[in-house]
């Protein structure tokens, strides 16, 4: 059997029209209806609406979670199951759902509150960097108060996060092929999210986390884990901790993974994997029609 990992993208992968054909899946209709009740708005309506609304954190995260979780359900109904799961930032919540750590509604409620906290965050800045000297970047980060490596995506792609002054200072000091300021108001995955993280941890505390049926590679710790309590602890740390995606990718060949299936819109994670680990076969499932093809 081919050893497989399911990967779940995070914010930035969304696209207008995503999930349009999920309404054709009988099993999806009940979950979409329940999602609309919990959120107070329609996932599919937002997904086929204005790009500006879908791109807002408040809506992006619940939409991505709902759509990817429904795709997971459809694959599971076809008796497909991976050997490992991992998700980038918001995608980690779908990974935990896919592994049976919590149910759909519990995950959606967590994502809803996470999105609200992040949507109202202020005073921070995030910049994506492409093509840089990793050692020099880390050196400047270490020397500059108020900035951290938020998303360590690959050898040539990263996101720094922190106060606007600190982020600008690092960008001015490090030679890059490209530096792009992200359209966010907060310094996500940095210590500046500590207050929001504390509130979120209190919300997480009473929610039961089952032991995972599938090992999960977490953002803050890329080692496979199935223990529910440990997975919850890792999730608490995620809001202020770095997304260690480069290390997650490096772990896959060590685990004998031969195939990666990116579940959700776009092929961001497959693209990162292709550049660094092309020997791992890649597949994308973003719609009901894609599910039909693999079943």
Task: Return d(Cα 17, Cα 50) in angstroms, integer.
Answer: 10
* Known catalytic residue at 154: no
* Known catalytic residue at 89: yes
**97 within 8 A of 69, measured Cβ to Cβ:** yes
- Burial of residue 21 (number of CB atoms within 10 Å: 0-12, 13-18, 19+): middle
**10 within 8 A of 238, measured Cβ to Cβ:** no
Cα dihedral sign, 159-164-166-170:
positive
Catalytic residue (one of 88, 154, 189, 287)? 189
Cα dihedral sign, 76-109-27-15:
negative
Catalytic residue (one of 13, 69, 89, 286)? 89
Long-range residue pairs from 223-232, CB within 8 A, at least 24 positions apart, any chain: 223/251, 224/84, 224/251, 224/255, 226/99, 228/101, 231/96, 231/101, 232/204, 232/207
Catalytic residue ranges: 89, 189
């Amino acid at each position: 059997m081919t050893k497989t990992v399911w990967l779940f993208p995070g914010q930035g992968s969304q696209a207008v029209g995503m999930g349009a054909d999920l309404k054709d899946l009988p099993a999806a209709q009940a979950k979409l209806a329940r999602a609309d009740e919990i959120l107070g708005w329609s996932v599919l309506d937002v997904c086929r609406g204005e790009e500006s609304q879908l791109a807002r954190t408040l809506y992006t995260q619940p939409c991505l979670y709902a759509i990817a979780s429904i795709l997971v359900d459809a694959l599971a109904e076809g008796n497909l199951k991976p050997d490992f799961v991992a998700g980038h930032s918001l995608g980690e919540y779908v990974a935990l759902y896919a592994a049976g750590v919590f149910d759909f509604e519990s995950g959606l409620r967590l994502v809803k509150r996470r999105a609200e906290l992040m949507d109202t965050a202020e005073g921070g800045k995030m910049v994506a960097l492409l093509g840089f000297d990793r050692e020099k970047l880390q050196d400047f980060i270490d020397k500059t108060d108020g900035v951290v490596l938020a998303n360590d995506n690959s050898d040539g792609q990263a996101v720094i996060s922190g106060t606007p002054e600190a982020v600008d200072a690092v960008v001015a000091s490090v030679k890059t092929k490209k530096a792009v300021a992200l359209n966010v108001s907060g310094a996500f995955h940095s210590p500046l999210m500590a207050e929001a993280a504390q509130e979120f941890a209190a919300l997480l505390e009473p929610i039961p986390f089952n032991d995972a049926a599938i090992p999960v590679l977490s953002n803050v710790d890329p080692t496979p884990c199935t223990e529910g309590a440990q997975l919850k602890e890792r999730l608490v740390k995620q809001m202020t901790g770095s997304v260690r995606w480069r290390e997650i990718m490096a772990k896959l060949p060590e685990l004998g993974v031969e195939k990666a299936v990116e579940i959700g819109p776009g092929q961001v994670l497959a693209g990162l994997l292709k550049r660094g680990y092309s020997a791992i076969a890649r597949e994308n499932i973003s719609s009901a029609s894609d599910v039909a093809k693999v079943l």
